[in-house]
Amino acid sequence: DAGITQSPRHKVTETGTPVTLRCHQTENHRYMYWYRQDPGHGLRLIHYSYGVKDTDKGEVSDGYSVSRSKTEDFLLTLESATSSQTSVYFCAIDRGPYNEQFFGPGTRLTVL
């Protein structure tokens, strides 16, 4: 257990509504990541953070924003959810000398 929790674990929302997903870690790791997982695509990086208030884009960042005001929390926001953002979202932290990533339990988001 890498001490990562995600909330909510499941969410159904409607197109056009804002949604915020939370990732919380208890181990004070500097790097945190948000991925989405879709059939046929594996995991794709949305955004990542390398410290408080330090974030950068991944390969599929359009339509998403992130914030990190505390080391332990990394928030992913969909400003106006679309059906194409229906996915499973995983948060990860970077741990150990070899940048091995450990994943949270995931959030299943459905946008109707």
Partner 1 sequence: ELKVEQNPLFLSMQEGKNYTIYCNYSTTSDRLYWYRQDPGKSLESLFVLLSNGAVKQEGRLMASLDTKARLSTLHITAAVHDLSATYFCAVSPGGSRLTFGEGTQLTVNP
Residues that bind partner 1 (CB under 8 A): 31, 40-45, 48, 50, 58-59, 90, 94, 98-106
What letter does residue 84 receive in the DSSP assignment? G
Task: Please spell the DSSP secondary structure of 22-77, one letter per residue.
Answer: EEEESS--S-EEEEEEETTTEEEEEEEEEETTEEEE-TT-TTEEEEEEETTEEEEE
Q: Which is nearer to partner 1, 64 or 90 (CB)?
A: 90
- Name the minimum Å distance from CB 80 to partner 1: 27
Q: Which is nearer to partner 1, 30 or 70 (CB)?
A: 30
- Name the minimum Å distance from CB 65 to partner 1: 18
At which residue do the structure tokens 């674990």 appear? 9
- Name the minimum Å distance from CB 72 to partner 1: 18
* β 19-25/73-78 pair status: antiparallel
- Name the minimum Å distance from CB 61 to partner 1: 12
Q: Which is nearer to partner 1, 27 or 100 (CB)?
A: 100
